[in-house]
Amino acid sequence: MTQDPLTLYKLITLYMLDRVAFPLTKAQIGDFILGHDYTNFLTLQQIIAELIDAEMIRAKSLRNRTYLEITEEGKNTLSYFGNRIGDSIKEDIAAFFADHEMDMRSESAVRADYYKSTSGEYEAHLLVKEKDVTVVDITLSVPSEDTAASICANWQTKSQSIYQFLVSQLF
């Protein structure tokens, strides 16, 4: 039986989201799908949009990243049609996760965003989550948007050492 390629790409996306305990970014899914030459960037954007519209995945955007999570509807769909994903593709996904899981987990667990507060200052909201547990949640009020953007940009690489410093100082 021939399969519509768009359906396969949707199933691959659902399968990937179902295999991790943290949200994946559009870029992370793209790294796999585009890296294996399954399809092109525009088609990938189309299938993600269709999965969101069908409420099979949820999307949450923070700054320049969109985080994706599978919904119950997506899990149900995958349980019915997941067998249409070939074993070789499942093996490729497993290998991709084995090679990149720590980086992907870190990228998804460490989040930063900023916004203009009612006082006119900017607030940088910095967060580290491990599974469903918030490990660090800091909001810093700063005078300029540039400062808030810089803090958010640095949070990804410096959050671990900042967390260790806070723990060493407070305990």
pLDDT at 29: 93
pLDDT tens for residues 100-156?
876 776 666 788 888 898 888 999 999 887 766 788 899 999 999 999 989 988 887
Same domain, 57 and 82: yes
Full-model pTM: 0.70
Whole-angstrom Cα distance, residue 70 to residue 18? Answer: 6
The DSSP string of 92-148 is HHHHHHHHHHHHHHHHHHEEEEEEE-TTSSEEEEEEEEETTEEEEEEEEEES-HHHH
pLDDT tens for residues 11-30?
999 999 999 877 888 988 99
pLDDT tens for residues 50-94?
999 999 999 988 766 788 999 999 999 999 999 999 999 999 999
Same domain, 26 and 52: yes
Phi, psi of 10 (to 5 degrees): -65, -45
Number of domains in the chain: 2
Residue that terminates a domain, selected from 108, 123, 153: 108
Same domain, 91 and 123: no
| Of 19-23, 43-47, 95-99, 108-112, minimum mean pLDDT range | 108-112
